[in-house]
Amino acid sequence: MSGESCNAIANGKPCDLATSVVPADVKNGILQFGARTILGTPTARFLFTGNGPVAPTFSLHLVTPYAGTLQNLTVTQDLPAGAGAQTLTYEVLVTDAPTGIRAILLVTAGSGGDFTNTFAVGQGATVSITVIKSAAHALVRLVNAAIQLV
């Protein structure tokens, strides 16, 4: 299937992203991450790909199906998660390295994002989102994060 358009659903064939061409009109995707709970300790955590129970201390990755640009990180979290000036920093990593795309939310905020910073990725890059707390505080629940890949 080398050099062909990758459309496994339409034609029923297996799709090898390493040798396929993704049509330009589908290069506008969303990578979704989340967790039902982020524990109150200031230990760095990672969001699940899609969504999951308690956010783990190890990295979970999504693989980019095509080369493009990561942009427009959006984060929502349930309220209230604490008080005062405590923050949670949600940062996008590529191959476990920071990209500069980050959203810093007060623990009392319901949503936030980074709509300024971008990061170029190649096809097959591994993407994850880490959460760093400024201090210990109450559990953070129902976290969802999405980053656009164009």
Q: Please write the tens of the pLDDT for every residue from 40-96.
A: 777 888 888 877 777 778 888 899 989 999 999 999 988 655 566 788 899 999 999
Q: Please write the tens of the pLDDT for every residue from 101-150.
A: 999 988 778 889 999 999 999 999 999 999 988 877 777 878 899 999 99
The pTM of the whole model exceeds 0.85: no
CATH of the domain spanning 27-149, picked from 3.40.50.720, 2.60.120.380, 3.40.980.10, 3.40.1170.60 = 2.60.120.380
How far is residue 142's CA from residue 42's CA, in Å, rounded to a whole number? 18
How far is residue 125's CA from residue 2's CA, in Å, rounded to a whole number? 20
Q: Would you give the DSSP letter of residue 47?
A: P
Question: Is 103:90 a contact under the CB 8 Å cutoff?
Answer: yes
Question: Is 34:47 a contact under the CB 8 Å cutoff?
Answer: yes
